[in-house]
Amino acid sequence: MVKVAIIFLFFVMLCNGSSVYKVGDSAGWAVIGNMDYNKWASSKSFQPGDTFLFQYNPSYHNVLQVSRSDFHTCDATSPIATYATGNDSIVIRSPGHYYYICGFMGHCQAGQKVDIRVPRNIGLDGSPISSPILPGNASSIPEASADGPMAPGPSLSNGHFVVLHHTLVCFGFGLLLIFV
C-alpha cells in the first residue's frame, strides 16, 4: 500500500502542470541581442501556477509590473510591483494579462518589455479551450486581468464544450491507480 501511495503522489506531482519559464530563455532579461519578448511569450502556453524567472544584472536592469497603458507607453513612474534582485521569480496565480518592463531609461523603448497572457482555461495539450456553454442566450463572459477586464470572449451560445483540467484528470488517474 505504501508503494501505491508513493506512486500516486509522484503521479500527481508529475501531472500538476505548473512550469517555470525563464523569460527570454537563454538570452535572459536584457536589452542587447534584439530579443523579442512578446514573440517569446506568444510561443508559450501559460497557466495559473506558472513561475516566471527574470534573470539579469541588477546594476543595469530591473523588472517592473505595469498597467497596460504604461506598458504601451513605456511609463515606469507608477509600477504595480518592482523587482530588482537580478533573479526574480514571479508566480502567476490567476488568469489575465501581465505586463512587465525594464525601468532603466531607454530599455523599454528598445524592446525590453513583455506582455504575458494567461488564459482562463487550458486544454490537455496546453492550448486555450472554450468556455462552457451557458443556458439561454448568454453571449460572452469577460476575462479578469491584472489591469482590468479584457475584451469579451467569443460567443458561448453555439459550439460544443469539453473542459478537462489536466490536474484533475491526472488526479483521477492517480486515484484509479490506487483502487485497481
- Residue 172 domain flag: no
β-bridge partners, 88: 54
For residue 33, the model assigns a pLDDT of 80
For residue 32, the model assigns a pLDDT of 84
Q: What is the pLDDT along the chain (180 residues), one digit of tens a residue?
A: 555 554 554 454 455 568 999 999 999 999 888 899 999 999 999 999 999 999 999 999 999 999 999 999 999 999 999 999 999 999 999 999 999 999 999 999 999 999 999 998 655 555 554 444 344 443 333 334 444 444 333 333 222 222 234 445 555 555 555 666
Distance between start and end Cα atoms, the chain: 12
- Residue 10 domain flag: no
- Residue 60 domain flag: yes
Q: Please state at what angle helix 166-179 crosses helix 2-15, rounded to 10 degrees.
A: 170
**What total number of domains does the chain contain?**
1
> Cell digits for 43?
510561443
What is the domain range of residue 146?
19-120+141-151
- Residue 129 domain flag: no
- Residue 116 domain flag: yes
- Residue 156 domain flag: no
> Cell digits for 23?
523569460
CATH of the domain at 93: 2.60.40.420
For residue 123, the model assigns a pLDDT of 55
- Residue 158 domain flag: no
- Residue 50 domain flag: yes
